Chains A and B, each alone.
Chain A
Amino acid sequence: GAVVSQHPSRVICKSGTSVKIECRSLDFQATTMFWYRQFPKQSLMLMATSNEGSKATYEQGVEKDKFLINHASLTLSTLTVTSAHPEDSSFYICSASGDREWYEQYFGPGTRLTVT
């Protein structure tokens, strides 16, 4: 149990376009979802935390108008990278916590974004 899926797993887009990444909790209700990005050989960097039905809380330095997060239901959160640029190329990972062990975050498989 406690499976989180992400779609797409890989995406290549042109500079200036927008990309949407979906994160779904498949077998539990995710009251809180987290979005991370990870550069090669670096640790996870939390971008934002979202609770179902409310606005996301962004970490310092993360542009909320560029990285749009929607957590419309207890099983789905989306991250939209707007007007993507090559420096946005990264590994984006979502995680979810909910009605299971409160302290445990279940991670999705990640999305590799490449902006050309």
Chain B
Amino acid sequence: GQNIDQPTEMTATEGAIVQINCTYQTSGFNGLFWYQQHAGEAPTFLSYNVLDGLEEKGRFSSFLSRSKGYSYLLLKELQMKDSASYLCAGMDSNYQLIWGAGTKLIIKP
């Protein structure tokens, strides 16, 4: 079956760095997505990885290892506004997104 695993909740300190891990099992693979979702709002796109390696975009970076079925989202210089849920989603061979349950990130001053 298809499955996305990510931690339920993480806590970090303002100004610090946090890494949110995601492992995936999909039928075929057409990329790995990370979305940010604030409470009561719709998700917003953060990143898309289809090749192995690290993609850096400002304070956010995303990493993919296809052989390990593993990705992580790295957030640097954490700000209070980064408190949100972070959703990992894998795209299968039918180009359908398989969503993880999300990781709630709590930022403390």
Contact = CB atoms under 8 A, between A and B. Distances in A.
B97 interface: yes
Most chain B Cβ neighbours within 10 Å, of A44, A49, A101, A110: A44
A43 B45 contact: no
Interface string B36-64: 00001111110010100000000000000
A108 B41 CA distance: 9
Nearest to B102: A43
A104 B48 contact: yes
B101 A43 contact: yes
Given A43-B101, A46-B97, A109 B48 contact: no
Contact of B42 (A46, A103, A104, A107): A107
A108 B48 CA distance: 19
A27 to B, nearest CB: 16
B60 to A, nearest CB: 16
Nearest to B89: A44
A24 to B, nearest CB: 14
B48 A110 contact: no
Contacts of B29: none
A109 B31 CA distance: 24
Contacts of A112: 40
A44 B99 contact: yes
A93 interface: yes
A105 interface: yes
Contacts of A91: 40
A44 B44 contact: no
A15 to B, nearest CB: 24
18 contacts: A43-B99, A44-B43, A46-B96, A46-B97, A49-B96, A95-B42, A103-B30, A103-B31, A103-B33, A103-B48, A104-B45, A106-B45, A107-B35, A107-B42, A108-B42, A109-B41, A109-B42, A110-B42
Interface of B: 30-31, 33, 35, 40-45, 48, 50, 87, 91, 96-97, 99-102, 104
**Which 6 pairs of residues, A with B, have the shortest CB-CB distance?**
A107-B42, A43-B101, A43-B99, A110-B42, A44-B99, A93-B42
